[in-house]
Structure 1
Amino acid sequence: MRKNTCTAAVAATAASLVLVPAAAASAAGSGDTATVSVLHAVPGLTVDVYANGSELIPDFTPGTLTDPQQLPAGSYDLAVFQAGQPSTGTPAIQANDVEVPAGANVTVVAHLDAEGQPTLTPFVNDTSSVPAGDARLTVRHVAAAPAVDVRAGGEPVVQGLTNPNEASLEVPGGTVSADVVLAGTSDVAAGPTDLSLPAGTSTVVYAWGNPAEGGVQLALQRIEDLGGAPGGVAAGTGGLLDDGAVPTWVLATSAGALGVAVAAGVGAAAVRSRRATAGTGDRAA
């Protein structure tokens, strides 16, 4: 492993969610777009996602990732309700006054915090180029579990990772056998699985779920075309990693449906927020 950079979370507060510098947030007024994906990682709960009071993603099921979409930069209120619950009720997760800067590439994750409470965490995806022949691997801990170690070929490559933090490495392209264990032990929480890391790509692995209710699962997101290029676009497909298989994710919403929502002035992304009411935090890949 050539580089191991663990990105710590900025402490979440009930009134602050900051992912990018203020200078970047000011770009939201430019009228440009941001690339946004949404991952549902709250086990056992089908939800409806609202933005600016309008339904954006209905019947969003656990383990589902939306296709990356180009959404207008601007300010949004996000709310997640249990599926079928009136939007006039109290949302399970909420983040208001969310600023979406132009040019950002973000994955918003609805998941459980370490204590098992639903929360919303936005991650900035690193789309910088990787050295020729290399791949980037990012691991994000979004499970209701204590600190974990990530092993490749039985050797720890990420240690003491806590929810909702992430760690990134640049590695030679290829295939590695990976698993997740409780920190400092050999107790396997998820995996092992053969993880393909094509050169010139960034692969993001999410450890999500609840050990007490169905266990911890692994999910995959990939960003293509980073081999020497200045940036890349999330591929929009990923997979639940189990028994070595990487099946295609079922996309929760079609590009056409999301386009209608955007045309109506509705967008969903969490990149900078003055108020967050679900224990949200921030990090940059």
Structure 2
Amino acid sequence: MTRTRTLGLATVAGAGALLALGATPATAADTATVSVLHAVPDTPVDVYANGERLIDDFQPGTLTDPLQLPAGSYDLALFPADAADGSGAPLLAADGVAVPAGANATVVAHLTAEGRPALTPFVNDTSAVPAGQGRVVVRHVAAAPAVDVRAGGQVVAPDLANPDEATLEVPAGTVSADVVLAGTDTVAIGPADLTVAEGATTAVYAWGSEEAGYQLAVQMIDGAGSAPSGVPAGTAGLADDDGLPLPLLGLSALGLAGAGLAARRLATTRA
């Protein structure tokens, strides 16, 4: 049975006091692109940045549209939905999160493998991919041990632990994907059909808990296109003429840089 989860002020596993977002392009404007995913089951929240309400009544499983935020340092806090002006102790907080100009990131409120609340920022790779290809990023943010991610029945991201990610470049098309417990055939999530768009990054989040159930959230991130050098031949997708899945290309497990966002009472400031 699903029960309401109360987030505590325990230690938050995350990606350090600074978002490791890479170098800022020389031509970048003084803004950053930030999306927010709410992946804590059973807990609607209001999201505050520097003491101002950024997102109202944020429901679990919801991903915001990309937000254009001024570059700078942010104190982030999550309060119970509709708390009066962010009063009282936050459910979850992280101070001094640096957002450089030109960055593209997704901040995820989720549970650690042990079921504790966490805020984890992920860098979204918007670099070019080869013509006819798309980038798939799988991110483990569920209260669960390590998992294997499969596409067409083949393991393409083995032993993926919370809050790590794996990146693949694959032919554009549709692939059937599922998530199994690492080293087993025990399905935790899926199977589900995943559409991979040419020239885009598709981020897939495995989130939830055993109590509330495990789910997938999908984020489409533009900006990874490349000019075609020719017309790709053959079928688009991950199956050959015999219906057997082709290997996924460019698998590289990426650890999230840094660790240790501390959850604490937010000293509310005004921007």
TM-score range, shorter chain: 0.7 to 0.9
Q: Partner residue of 1:277?
A: 262
Higher RCO structure, 1 or 2 (CA under 8 Å, sep 6+): 1
- Residues matched between the structures, number: 222
Residues in 2 aligned to 1:107 and 1:36: alpha-carbon distance in whole angstroms: 6
Residues in 2 aligned to 1:81 and 1:71: alpha-carbon distance in whole angstroms: 20
TM-score for the superposition, normalised by structure 2: 0.75
Q: Partner residue of 2:232?
A: none
Residues in 1 aligned to 2:110 and 2:23: alpha-carbon distance in whole angstroms: 29
| Counterpart contact for 1:145–1:163, Cα < 8 Å | yes
What amino acid does structure 1 have at the position aligned with 2:186? D
| Counterpart contact for 1:46–1:82, Cα < 8 Å | yes
Cα gap change, 1:73 to 1:275, in 2 (>3 Å)? farther
Instruction: Name the larger-Rg structure.
Output: 2
| Counterpart contact for 2:18–2:96, Cα < 8 Å | no
Q: Give the superposed CA RMSD.
A: 2.7
Aligned partner (choices 71, 78, 95) of residue 69 of structure 2: 71
Runs of 4+ in 1 over 6 A off after TM superposition: 12-15, 272-275
Q: Partner residue of 1:237?
A: none
**What is the deviation of 1:98?**
1.6
Q: Partner residue of 1:137?
A: 136
Give secondary structure in 2 for the equivalent of 1:160: strand
Residues in 2 aligned to 1:138 and 1:193: alpha-carbon distance in whole angstroms: 15
What residue ranges of structure 1 are gaps of 5+ in the alignment? 1-11, 230-271, 280-285
- Of Structure 1 and Structure 2, the greater strand share is in 1
Cα gap change, 1:273 to 1:144, in 2 (>3 Å)? closer
| Counterpart contact for 1:129–1:227, Cα < 8 Å | yes
Aligned partner (choices 33, 36, 43) of residue 34 of structure 2: 36
What amino acid does structure 1 have at the position aligned with 2:203? V
| Counterpart contact for 2:18–2:97, Cα < 8 Å | no
The yes-or-no answer on 1:50 pairing with 2:35 is: no
What amino acid does structure 2 have at the position aligned with 1:185? T
What amino acid does structure 1 have at the position aligned with 2:39? A
Q: Partner residue of 1:101?
A: 100
What residue ranges of structure 2 are gaps of 5+ in the alignment? 1-11, 228-256, 265-271
**What is the deviation of 1:210?**
0.3
What amino acid does structure 2 have at the position aligned with 1:110? A
Residues in 2 aligned to 1:147 and 1:60: alpha-carbon distance in whole angstroms: 28
Measured against aligned partners, the alpha-carbon deviations of 1:48-106 in whole angstroms (never above 9, x if no partner) come to 11111111111100111111021101111110012133523221111101211000001
Give secondary structure in 2 for the equivalent of 1:97: strand
Q: Partner residue of 1:125?
A: 124
Aligned partner (choices 225, 228, 233) of residue 227 of structure 1: 225
Residues in 1 aligned to 2:138 and 2:221: alpha-carbon distance in whole angstroms: 14
- Of Structure 1 and Structure 2, the greater helix share is in 1
Q: Partner residue of 2:161?
A: 162
| Counterpart contact for 1:95–1:273, Cα < 8 Å | no
Cα gap change, 1:66 to 1:188, in 2 (>3 Å)? same
| Counterpart contact for 1:99–1:273, Cα < 8 Å | no
Identity of aligned residues (%): 64
